[in-house]
Amino acid sequence: MKFRKIVAVDETLLNNNAIARLHTLGDKVEIYHDFPAEETEVIRRIDDADCLLVSFRTQIRRTVFNACPNIRYIGMCCTLYSPDSCNVDVIEARRRGITVTGVKDYGDEGVLEYVISELVRLLHGFGSHRWEKESTEITGRKIGIIGLGKTGSMISEALKIFGADIRYYSRTRKPDAEKNGIKYQPLDILLSEAEIICTCLPRNNYLLGEHEFKIIGNGKILVNTSVGPTFDKDALKQWLTQCPSSYYLCDATGMGNLTEELLYIPNVLYTPYISGKSIQSIERLSQKALANIEEFMKL
């Protein structure tokens, strides 16, 4: 049975093959390739749709459900880490009998390549900055990974191949990683000992504040692969100002909405691209998002 109306309410990154497939799954299909600025526009776009597709950027809250009562399926074209960190009110949706699905493991490879390439450039001085006076390798460097999910695990394993001394912090211990030589440390110890720190957290997880940045100190590198900041912005700005030999690295996803506030700081190395967005990742995302929809239609 087809959906009556499918709406991709913002830029979900679904490729042309996936969009063509959507037209066989719904009587009417509307695809948007921008991001609505106001909730009233979100509601206008959804209208009477029974299938909603959305990226990680557009908020879908109770007021949207009230205004669009026909929704019975929401396909998040992004990772659904947990209801608490979602742009979709998953708990309210499920309370109303709306199925919500997400997509996992589609952009991690590009994120991994970003972390390796930017660290190599900064450590060797291949770009406009060099971390230390002399060129240095990843080999032997103490690197702390905060958050050992799929992305964090891939980064830790890759950096381990380069010969880095890897340690991690996570709210839950990871026995398999520890058996593989990745050492667990409490957060404060990791921040104190690690020379390079990489945050790989679900969105809306803010672990680094003024206290944590004081522990980190000067001469460190912070890399953010999360969706949006993992820190208090004022604390980060103070750290970068007071510690000019430290660097903050992020791509467009990690920067979130802080571009205007952080871009002027000389030790912020910003890459204005989404590292998890590539031909391959878009194909993986598209296939998995379509598979979720088709699985729902079997019910």
CATH value at residue 195: 3.40.50.720
What is d(CA 99, CA 117) in angstroms, rounded to the nearest whole number? 39
| Confidence (pLDDT) at 85 | 77
Query: Do 181 and 239 belong together in one domain?
Result: yes
Query: Do 61 and 93 belong together in one domain?
Result: yes
Query: Do 99 and 112 belong together in one domain?
Result: no
**pTM for this prediction:** 0.89
Query: Do 86 and 179 belong together in one domain?
Result: no
Query: Do 124 and 266 belong together in one domain?
Result: yes
Query: Do 29 and 137 belong together in one domain?
Result: no
* DSSP alpha helix (H) spans, the chain: 16-25, 39-46, 62-67, 90-95, 108-124, 150-161, 175-179, 187-193, 210-216, 233-242, 252-255, 259-262, 279-297
User: What averages of pLDDT result for each successive group of 10 residues across the chain (299 residues)?
Assistant: 95 96 97 96 98 96 97 94 86 96 93 97 96 97 96 96 97 95 97 98 90 98 95 97 97 93 96 94 97 94
| Confidence (pLDDT) at 75 | 98
Range of the domain at 57: 3-105+278-297
Domain count, the chain: 2
